Structure 1
Amino acid sequence: MRLQDFQRVTWFVQVAPYTYTTDVWPRLGASNKGPSVFDRPVRQKGRTAYDQVCKLRVVPQTTDPECAVAYRRYKTSSDFKVAAFTGPQQLWQRMVKSYDDNMGDTPIVVYDMDLDDFLDRCATGTMSPLAEALCVGVF
């Protein structure tokens, strides 16, 4: 891309974890049996709050290092509740990459920011870790 092309770019970021149910090992591209609901439902179908998945076991992704996949087994079946999301580390990687690509002054539009961890339930010591990663991730 040419420099003038970057002046017309807006970067869109979805921070709410995308949820689904699968009967195979949780990973990107696994078969999808529909959305899953974690501890409490949210208004957006197929989404959950970051504070509901931040402490779950994360499956390393080799196909997309900018995406984390966390899971929990259903208590009544062999299915998995899965959440694909970008945590603070993944957002930081995206921000570094955008600066490396000379897109550091590109406007960012963030969707579902209301599903960040505003109460520090993830025990990171940071209120709103996703917002912080976007705001100060490369400094």
Structure 2
Amino acid sequence: MARKASVYIGDELETALEERHGASDSVSGLINKMVDRYREVCRREAPPLTPQAWCLLFDVLNGVWLQPASMGVRGIPMEVEDGIAMNGLAEKWGVDGEALKTRLAEADFAELTAIADAAERFWARHRDLPSEPTEIVAALNLPSE
């Protein structure tokens, strides 16, 4: 990826930059600072799950639109419930579906955001990742039970 790129600044990013821009701040510096914090939140808040549960989540979240963030990630438990009930994903991945549904129903916004982020990273790289669930989770640097 290029170190320097042209970026379209949408409304959300523009607002975030305006809220943080001081006399000594550059736009690229602010973006890098915000992304660093976001990545750290996702790293810290990703729930420890079995590799098979992570793969079930990736399977469920393939192509799911999770925007806007204020509402989108809140739909993850429902997507998982549907995937388990309608597509048999608990059996496919050898996961205790009821336990996973309960865990996700209790997840807070930061955990759900970390799950969405992990799924996006998985689908961006899935062709280059190993095929074993344990190796996938390790390659994505996710916490495992």
Q: Please report the TM-score for the alignment, with normalisation by the length of structure 1.
A: 0.30
Bigger strand fraction: 1
Bigger helix fraction: 2
